[in-house]
Amino acid sequence: MTLAEQKTTVDAFEIFIAQHPKNLFELIHGKIIEKVPTEQHGIIAVNISAEIKIYLKTHPIGQVGVEVRHRKPDDKFNDRMPDISFRKIQSDEIVTHGAVPSMPDLAIEIKSPTDTYKLMREKADYYLDNGTSLVWLIYPEKKFVEVYRKDADIDFLTGGDTLLGYDVLPEFELTVSEIFP
Protein backbone atom coordinates (compact mmCIF):
# COMPACT_ATOMS: atom_id res chain seq x y z
CA MET A 1 0.00 0.00 0.00
CA THR A 2 1.53 3.29 -1.08
CA LEU A 3 0.96 6.00 1.48
CA ALA A 4 2.68 8.89 -0.28
CA GLU A 5 2.78 9.60 -4.01
CA GLN A 6 5.38 12.37 -3.74
CA LYS A 7 9.01 11.37 -3.35
CA THR A 8 9.80 11.14 0.36
CA THR A 9 13.34 11.51 1.69
CA VAL A 10 14.80 9.38 4.47
CA ASP A 11 14.69 12.38 6.83
CA ALA A 12 10.95 12.83 6.28
CA PHE A 13 10.51 9.05 6.51
CA GLU A 14 12.12 9.01 9.99
CA ILE A 15 9.55 11.58 11.14
CA PHE A 16 6.73 9.60 9.53
CA ILE A 17 7.63 6.29 11.19
CA ALA A 18 8.05 8.01 14.57
CA GLN A 19 4.43 9.16 14.19
CA HIS A 20 3.28 5.60 13.35
CA PRO A 21 5.18 3.38 15.82
CA LYS A 22 2.71 0.47 15.69
CA ASN A 23 3.09 -0.15 11.95
CA LEU A 24 5.91 -1.45 9.74
CA PHE A 25 7.00 0.73 6.85
CA GLU A 26 9.84 0.87 4.37
CA LEU A 27 10.89 3.53 1.90
CA ILE A 28 11.32 2.31 -1.67
CA HIS A 29 12.52 4.86 -4.23
CA GLY A 30 10.89 7.68 -2.26
CA LYS A 31 7.55 5.92 -1.69
CA ILE A 32 6.39 4.90 1.78
CA ILE A 33 5.18 1.30 1.72
CA GLU A 34 3.36 -0.33 4.62
CA LYS A 35 4.29 -3.92 5.35
CA VAL A 36 1.41 -6.10 6.49
CA PRO A 37 2.71 -9.63 7.12
CA THR A 38 0.35 -12.59 7.33
CA GLU A 39 0.52 -15.53 9.74
CA GLN A 40 2.03 -17.67 6.95
CA HIS A 41 4.65 -14.99 6.39
CA GLY A 42 5.53 -14.96 10.09
CA ILE A 43 5.85 -18.74 10.28
CA ILE A 44 8.17 -18.80 7.28
CA ALA A 45 10.26 -15.96 8.75
CA VAL A 46 10.63 -17.88 12.03
CA ASN A 47 11.47 -21.14 10.24
CA ILE A 48 14.30 -19.52 8.29
CA SER A 49 15.63 -17.20 11.00
CA ALA A 50 15.61 -20.02 13.58
CA GLU A 51 17.76 -22.20 11.31
CA ILE A 52 20.20 -19.34 10.76
CA LYS A 53 20.31 -18.67 14.52
CA ILE A 54 21.08 -22.35 15.19
CA TYR A 55 23.83 -22.21 12.56
CA LEU A 56 25.29 -19.08 14.22
CA LYS A 57 25.69 -20.93 17.54
CA THR A 58 28.44 -23.05 15.98
CA HIS A 59 29.56 -20.42 13.45
CA PRO A 60 29.53 -17.10 15.39
CA ILE A 61 30.13 -14.85 12.38
CA GLY A 62 27.29 -12.34 12.71
CA GLN A 63 23.70 -11.61 13.64
CA VAL A 64 20.34 -12.50 12.09
CA GLY A 65 17.36 -10.17 12.44
CA VAL A 66 13.71 -9.93 11.41
CA GLU A 67 12.27 -6.69 9.98
CA VAL A 68 15.50 -4.71 10.50
CA ARG A 69 15.75 -1.45 8.55
CA HIS A 70 18.83 -0.94 6.34
CA ARG A 71 19.90 2.22 4.55
CA LYS A 72 22.93 3.26 2.55
CA PRO A 73 24.14 6.65 3.87
CA ASP A 74 24.28 8.18 0.38
CA ASP A 75 20.80 6.99 -0.67
CA LYS A 76 18.21 9.60 0.32
CA PHE A 77 15.16 7.72 -1.04
CA ASN A 78 15.51 4.16 0.26
CA ASP A 79 15.19 2.68 3.72
CA ARG A 80 14.68 -1.03 3.18
CA MET A 81 13.34 -3.61 5.61
CA PRO A 82 14.03 -7.14 4.43
CA ASP A 83 11.86 -9.73 6.12
CA ILE A 84 15.04 -11.40 7.41
CA SER A 85 18.58 -10.07 7.25
CA PHE A 86 22.01 -11.25 8.27
CA ARG A 87 25.12 -9.12 8.88
CA LYS A 88 28.65 -10.23 9.62
CA ILE A 89 28.95 -8.35 12.90
CA GLN A 90 29.47 -9.02 16.58
CA SER A 91 26.91 -8.21 19.27
CA ASP A 92 28.71 -5.01 20.31
CA GLU A 93 28.18 -3.63 16.79
CA ILE A 94 24.37 -3.91 16.81
CA VAL A 95 22.54 -0.71 15.84
CA THR A 96 20.19 0.30 18.65
CA HIS A 97 18.45 3.31 17.06
CA GLY A 98 17.35 3.93 13.49
CA ALA A 99 18.38 2.08 10.38
CA VAL A 100 21.57 0.08 9.94
CA PRO A 101 23.77 2.37 7.78
CA SER A 102 24.51 -0.35 5.21
CA MET A 103 22.86 -3.21 3.37
CA PRO A 104 22.87 -6.69 4.94
CA ASP A 105 25.18 -9.44 3.72
CA LEU A 106 22.07 -11.62 3.23
CA ALA A 107 18.60 -10.22 2.52
CA ILE A 108 15.57 -12.50 2.55
CA GLU A 109 12.21 -11.38 1.20
CA ILE A 110 9.02 -13.41 1.61
CA LYS A 111 6.40 -12.70 -1.05
CA SER A 112 3.20 -11.24 0.35
CA PRO A 113 -0.09 -11.81 -1.50
CA THR A 114 0.03 -8.24 -2.84
CA ASP A 115 3.66 -8.41 -4.06
CA THR A 116 4.36 -9.07 -7.72
CA TYR A 117 7.16 -11.25 -9.01
CA LYS A 118 8.55 -8.16 -10.71
CA LEU A 119 8.63 -6.25 -7.40
CA MET A 120 10.34 -9.15 -5.67
CA ARG A 121 13.03 -9.32 -8.34
CA GLU A 122 13.49 -5.54 -8.27
CA LYS A 123 14.15 -5.83 -4.53
CA ALA A 124 16.80 -8.49 -5.18
CA ASP A 125 18.45 -6.26 -7.79
CA TYR A 126 18.43 -3.29 -5.40
CA TYR A 127 20.09 -5.26 -2.62
CA LEU A 128 22.77 -6.70 -4.91
CA ASP A 129 23.45 -3.32 -6.54
CA ASN A 130 23.95 -1.77 -3.10
CA GLY A 131 26.30 -4.18 -1.38
CA THR A 132 24.32 -7.28 -0.43
CA SER A 133 26.11 -10.50 -1.41
CA LEU A 134 23.22 -12.97 -1.25
CA VAL A 135 19.43 -12.62 -1.65
CA TRP A 136 16.81 -15.31 -1.11
CA LEU A 137 13.32 -14.65 -2.47
CA ILE A 138 10.74 -16.92 -0.86
CA TYR A 139 7.46 -17.70 -2.67
CA PRO A 140 4.97 -19.33 -0.24
CA GLU A 141 2.16 -19.97 -2.73
CA LYS A 142 4.46 -21.90 -5.10
CA LYS A 143 6.78 -23.23 -2.36
CA PHE A 144 9.92 -22.26 -4.18
CA VAL A 145 12.96 -20.05 -3.62
CA GLU A 146 15.01 -17.89 -5.96
CA VAL A 147 18.65 -17.37 -4.98
CA TYR A 148 20.50 -14.28 -6.24
CA ARG A 149 24.25 -13.71 -6.01
CA LYS A 150 26.34 -10.98 -7.57
CA ASP A 151 27.64 -12.03 -11.01
CA ALA A 152 26.06 -15.50 -10.81
CA ASP A 153 23.10 -17.25 -12.37
CA ILE A 154 19.83 -17.26 -10.45
CA ASP A 155 19.10 -20.56 -8.71
CA PHE A 156 15.49 -21.81 -8.62
CA LEU A 157 14.88 -24.25 -5.76
CA THR A 158 11.89 -26.39 -4.78
CA GLY A 159 10.94 -29.18 -2.36
CA GLY A 160 13.94 -31.38 -1.67
CA ASP A 161 16.49 -28.90 -3.05
CA THR A 162 19.02 -27.49 -0.61
CA LEU A 163 19.31 -23.78 0.08
CA LEU A 164 22.97 -22.85 0.62
CA GLY A 165 24.63 -19.97 2.45
CA TYR A 166 27.59 -19.81 0.03
CA ASP A 167 30.35 -17.43 1.20
CA VAL A 168 27.94 -15.46 3.40
CA LEU A 169 26.98 -18.40 5.66
CA PRO A 170 29.64 -21.03 4.87
CA GLU A 171 28.41 -24.60 5.34
CA PHE A 172 24.81 -23.47 5.98
CA GLU A 173 22.24 -25.75 4.38
CA LEU A 174 18.46 -25.82 4.62
CA THR A 175 16.10 -28.07 2.69
CA VAL A 176 13.53 -25.91 0.92
CA SER A 177 10.59 -28.01 2.15
CA GLU A 178 11.54 -27.13 5.77
CA ILE A 179 10.83 -23.45 5.08
CA PHE A 180 7.11 -23.78 4.43
CA PRO A 181 4.38 -24.58 6.99
Assign 3-class secondary structure to 124-150: HHHHHHCCCCEEEEEECCCCEEEEEEC
pLDDT for the residue 2: 52
Report how far residue 104's alpha carbon sits from residue 100's, in angstroms, rounded to the nearest whole number. Answer: 9
Task: Choose which CATH entry (3.40.1030.10, 1.10.510.10, 3.30.230.10, 3.90.1570.10) describes domain 37-178.
Answer: 3.90.1570.10
pLDDT for the residue 89: 85
Report how far residue 107's alpha carbon sits from residue 178's, in angstroms, rounded to the nearest whole number. Answer: 19
Phi first, then psi, for residue 38 (nearest 5°) are -95, 175
Q: Which residues pair with residue 26 across a beta bridge?
A: 33
pTM (2 d.p.): 0.92
Distance of CA 86 to the CA centre of its chain: 8
Q: Is 44 helix (H, G, I), strand (E, B) or coil?
A: helix
pLDDT for the residue 5: 61
Helix (H), strand (E) at residue 128: helix 117-129
pLDDT for the residue 181: 86
Q: Which residues pair with residue 156 across a beta bridge?
A: 146
pLDDT for the residue 132: 97
Instruction: List average pLDDT for each run of 10 residues in the chain, which is 181 residues long.
Output: 70 92 92 91 97 97 96 94 94 88 97 93 97 97 96 95 97 97 86
Rg (CA), the chain: 16
Report how far residue 120's alpha carbon sits from residue 138's, in angstroms, rounded to the nearest whole number. Answer: 9
Report how far residue 108's alpha carbon sits from residue 124's, in angstroms, rounded to the nearest whole number. Answer: 9
